[in-house]
Structure 1
Amino acid sequence: MLCPLEPAVRPAAEGPRGRRTPPSLADPDVARDPYPLYRTLRDGHPLRHDEPFGAWLLSRHADVRAALADPRLVAPPPGRTFTHLEQGTHAAHRALVSPGLQGRALAALRAGVERAAYVLARRLVRREEADLVEEFCRWLPSAAVVAALGLPHEETARVAAWSRTDLTHLGAVPAGVEAALRPHIARRRAHPGGDLLSVLCTARADGRPLPDEAVAGLVATLLGAGGEATGRALAAHLANLLDHPAQLALIRARPELTDAAWAESLRRDPAVHLVLRRALAPVPVGGGTVPAGAVVACLLGSAGRDAARFADPDRYDLFRADPGQLAFGAGRHRCLGVPFTRMIAGTGLTALLAALPGLAWAPGFRPAPEGLLTRAPAALLVRTR
């Protein structure tokens, strides 16, 4: 997914003293190709107030990383996800959730992901061509959660809809979702099995079972991590490897490179291009100061292409020594679903390579990434043999 040679954004206007003023993130052309704007911001406007967009923009890697970890910059309301919890409340919730995704629970989760990935991949075996976005990427995250939790397969469509509309990757539990989960939780408490939901329902913290609210929160974390952003990240990941068949062949020969390929894709083409924060107090950053109460847009898509941090940043290279870790947040609000999304990406790629030995772009097809808040190819048309 190489950037077009010609910028898609409108030419920057001349500002005071001849300085060129970048276009706004709200400009429709920016969504078609934001990278020329990102370069302009990094080179001359590291902290810029984008009035049409309604936020202060941070574009350099060091500034974005610092902002994501700064306790004075919090997630704007509304919401009751982990990102909206601060100080001791956030730490207490994270301490409760994190152990729930280890040990037996992690093993059950891995088994569910593997089962879902191989079922979806095998469905493509007898096809000459397939769209991996429509037939694999959009379904794998939700199908993996359903399989791991031991929910009926028929729940996959409803889980996918929850992930798109009601949940974030940070673990919100809307009332409707929690109400739908409670009967399943009650059944697992009465008759536990070997699935992930049973493991969570029988887990103990300080000698006591996790309350229903905590179990629902853990499940919502996974449902959110298995949402649209993960499917988009998986689509960008596959597009990068299909664009670089020599590196794809290396992964076939050396599966231990799978995690490195995922990390490099998240750096170069993250699914989420910006994260919003609100300043609780004046915050010095990017050579200036963000005023209290202001909204800050941390441009992850720009930070990952910062030449001050990464050599030849537009190039995809699975051997990059340190691709960074900003795609799923930083600091206290780093997403709890990171291991799960990495598991989905690795297992999904392994399943596809095993089922489709001739995997390559369909003749004449080129992926077309779209979007700004979230960005990924709308289709991945491949030949399967």
Structure 2
Amino acid sequence: MLCPHGLPGEGAPAPTSTGAPPARLLPEPPEVGVGNPFAPPGPSAARTPSAPSSRAEPVSPRPESRSAPPSLLAPGTERDPYPLYRTLRERHPLVYDEPFGAWLVSRYADVRAALADPRLVAPSPGRTLADLEDGTHSVHRALVSPAFRGAALAALTAGVERTAYVLARRLAARQEADLVAEFCHWLPTAAAVAALGLPYEDTARVHAWCRTGLDHLGGHHPELDAFLRPYIARRRAQPGADLLSALCTARADGHPLPDEAVSGLAGTLLGAGGEATAHALASFLANLLDHPGQLGMIRARPALTAGAWAESLRRDPPLHVVSRRAVEPVGVIPEGATVACLLGAAGRDPARFADPDRYDAFRADPGELAYGSGRHFCPGALLARLTAEHGLHALLTALPDLRWAPGFRPAPEGLISRSPRTLLVRPR
């Protein structure tokens, strides 16, 4: 979605952990002349603007603490990362995690600022939209965004809605069903296939590719490239109203995008619309089934679905770690180092959200970090939202008595990507 989300990679050797938070965690980018958004929250929420300066000087870290800082790879973190997140926010808001190989940023304000900082870029430059930087990223994103409007958006919406009802109706006669295996994993892929204007009967094949080589960064899958090649040729000759046609007919600096770029961007959409959205959809349904009162209100007022989806992304984002690479020193962070922005910790920061562990479908301001921030805001976020909204509506229409199977409780799993792997329900 992600779009910009990556995993830690090899970087320049990092200095010893800072331990306790310094007075200023990171300096501002040189071109920004306002108060430092990475600064730890003080007694007042107000920020005092600072005078513009030509260069912000790195801060000196405080002496390291006697005990080693906590690590994302510590035993038990994958099962329940939230105690660790709490410790990081309170005691180590900027710390180098040597076993994980990255600097960890855990507070909401810091994560949001890091995702928008031009000195911290998506790692492993490649051909996907998430990996493009500077002007190239802007050009390609500008080409993708219009495809989600007008006729293409209408076609996407219709495809998501139709597919959701087909999948939901298949569950209606069942005594028990697993929503993850039979709904969440299939609906996002089918939605992405519809967005690109690919044949519906190829959904199963694309679905398999999304789980064997494609991910939220798109990746590279030779079979997908070969599969897309004739469709790209046809769209160049006879474009339609779908996303693949929009990419094939777009022009950058007066020239059409090469086939490799079109295929890479299509892979990005399929990867984001597949695995990442499947995880998000599973957590969304789990949160609502855990709160039948809130689910009942949304059943009566479907317009509330968008807020319920945003709240689920805050509380249980599909990706808990977003990776960035420092292209120049950023305070104590050296050039080339990896910075891990912890969305899972940021979304439950009590300095930003009241009662952050509670799921509240009607929360007024749930934030917007799960699908990126700043210039890397994920263009697949719209696809994910449509999938969630129409998917939920289809389930509530086809399965009016939807509830947990007796004795079942969802158990989220994962460190980088996290969601329940099973959702056992009684459809009727």
Shorter-normalised TM-score: what interval? 0.7 to 0.9
- Distance across 1 between alignment mates of 2:395 and 2:103: 41
1:18-57 pair list within 5 angstroms: 21-57=68-104
Q: Show the counterpart of 1:141.
A: 188
The structure-2 alpha-carbon separation of the partners of 1:130 and 1:138, relative to structure 1 and needing over 3 Å to count, comes to same
Q: Show the counterpart of 1:181.
A: 228
2:153 paired with 1:120 = no
Q: Percent identity?
A: 71
State which of 286, 290, 311 in structure 1 corresponds to 2:354.
311
2:201 paired with 1:158 = no
The structure-2 alpha-carbon separation of the partners of 1:210 and 1:71, relative to structure 1 and needing over 3 Å to count, comes to closer
- Distance across 2 between alignment mates of 1:94 and 1:48: 32
- Distance across 2 between alignment mates of 1:71 and 1:168: 24
2:393 paired with 1:354 = no
CA contact 1:169–1:335 (8 Å) conserved in 2: no
- Distance across 2 between alignment mates of 1:373 and 1:107: 33
- Distance across 1 between alignment mates of 2:239 and 2:338: 46
Amino acid of the residue matched to residue 299 of structure 2? R
- Distance across 2 between alignment mates of 1:213 and 1:296: 29
Matched residues, number = 368
CA contact 1:111–1:148 (8 Å) conserved in 2: no
TM-score (norm 1): 0.88
Amino acid of the residue matched to residue 27 of structure 1? A
Instruction: Answer 1 or 2: which has greater helix percent.
Output: 1
- Higher mean alpha-carbon deviation, 334-343 vs 170-179, is at 170-179
State which of 130, 137, 149 in structure 2 corresponds to 1:90.
137
Q: Show the counterpart of 1:4.
A: none
Gaps of 5+ in 2: 1-18, 21-62
- Distance across 1 between alignment mates of 2:261 and 2:162: 26
- Alpha-carbon RMSD across the aligned residues, in angstroms, is 2.6
The structure-2 alpha-carbon separation of the partners of 1:152 and 1:87, relative to structure 1 and needing over 3 Å to count, comes to closer
CA contact 2:214–2:267 (8 Å) conserved in 1: yes
In the TM superposition, what is the alpha-carbon distance from 1:336 to its structure 2 partner? 0.9
The structure-2 alpha-carbon separation of the partners of 1:74 and 1:28, relative to structure 1 and needing over 3 Å to count, comes to same
Deviation string, structure 1 residues 139-197 (Cα, Å, up to 9, x no partner):
11112222444433332122112222333435556554232102123344556666654
Amino acid of the residue matched to residue 359 of structure 1? L
SS in 2 for 1:123: helix
- Distance across 1 between alignment mates of 2:144 and 2:64: 54
Amino acid of the residue matched to residue 180 of structure 2? V
Amino acid of the residue matched to residue 102 of structure 1? R
- Higher mean alpha-carbon deviation, 250-259 vs 202-211, is at 202-211
The structure-2 alpha-carbon separation of the partners of 1:209 and 1:78, relative to structure 1 and needing over 3 Å to count, comes to closer
- Higher mean alpha-carbon deviation, 180-189 vs 56-65, is at 180-189
2:382 paired with 1:339 = yes
State which of 286, 290, 297 in structure 1 corresponds to 2:340.
297
TM-score (norm 2): 0.79
Gaps of 5+ in 1: 1-13
- Higher mean alpha-carbon deviation, 221-230 vs 41-50, is at 221-230
Amino acid of the residue matched to residue 321 of structure 1? A
Q: Show the counterpart of 1:272.
A: 319
Q: Show the counterpart of 1:7.
A: none
Q: Show the counterpart of 1:111.
A: 158
Q: Show the counterpart of 1:376.
A: 419
